[in-house]
Structure 1
Amino acid sequence: MMFGWTLIRIRGRSMAPVLPHGSYALFRAKRTVRTGDIVLADHPVLGPIVKSVRRQTPAGYILEGRSPASIGSAALGVIPRDGIIGVLVMAHTPPRRAPDRRTA
C-alpha cells in the first residue's frame, strides 16, 4: 500500500461479473467499511482476497464473493476489522483481444 492506495490485478472468478478475472482494482485505506462494500482483506489463511462485505459483527466482517463458484462465507470465517486493507474505489477491465486471424 502506497500512501493509502493499493492497485491489484484480479485473479480468479469469485467476484465475476463485477470484477472479472484480469481486471485491475484500486483500493483506498478507509476506516469506515459498510455492508455491500467491495474490500481487499488479509485473510489469515488465504492471504489477500477481494470480497463483498455481507454483514458486520462485533468481531469483524463476514465477506462473500459475487459468483456462485466463490468460497462460502462460512468457510472464510470472520475477518477482523484490522484485516481490511482497503475499499474499492475504481476498477478497469481491459478489453478482450480478438484472436489473430492472419494466416502465414
Structure 2
Amino acid sequence: MTGWLRHRWRLVVVRGRSMAPTLRDGDRLIVRVGRAPAPGDIVVFRAHDVVPDADLTWMVKRVHRIEPDGAVTVRGDNIRSQDSRHFGAVPREAILGVATGRR
C-alpha cells in the first residue's frame, strides 16, 4: 500500500517568489501525481521541458488555459513571474501533477 501511495502523491518544496502571494518560498505542496489539470489549478512540471537551460528541476505555476492538444499555458501569481508568456505552453508529458494542499 505504501508504494502505491508514494507513486500517487509527492511532497514538493516551493523555491522562489513566482507564486507570491499565494505561495511563499519554503512552502510545501502535496501533489497528486498524474491528475489532469484544470484552469485555476496549481501544477508542478519539469522545468527542463520548457526552459532547457533552467537551473531548476521542477516549476510551480497556475494553469491559465488548456490547449486542444492537452498542453497547458501557465502563469505565476506574481506579476514578475517567468511563465508561458515567456516560454510557451507546457506539454502534457512534462506535468508531474496538481497541487491539492499544503503541509
Provide TM-score, normalisation by structure 1: 0.79
Moved over 4 A (4+): none
Aligned positions, number: 92
Give % identity.
34
Are residues 1:56 and 2:66 paired? yes
Note the aligned Cα RMSD (angstroms).
1.7
Residues 41 and 48, structure 1, Cα contact 8 Å, conserved in 2: yes
Greater fraction of residues in strand: 1
Aligned equivalents of 2:74 and 2:14: distance in 1? 17
Aligned equivalents of 2:66 and 2:80: distance in 1? 23
Larger Rg: 1
Greater fraction of residues in helix: 2
Are residues 1:81 and 2:85 paired? no
Structure 2, unaligned runs of 5 or more = none
Instruction: Map 1:62-77 onto structure 2 (within 5 A).
Output: 62-77=73-88
Deviations 1:45-75 (A, max 9, x none): 2341000000011231101100012114221
Report the equivalent of 1:96. none
Structure 1, unaligned runs of 5 or more = 93-104
Residues 44 and 96, structure 2, Cα contact 8 Å, conserved in 1: yes
Residues 36 and 97, structure 2, Cα contact 8 Å, conserved in 1: no
Aligned equivalents of 2:83 and 2:43: distance in 1? 16
Provide TM-score, normalisation by structure 2: 0.79
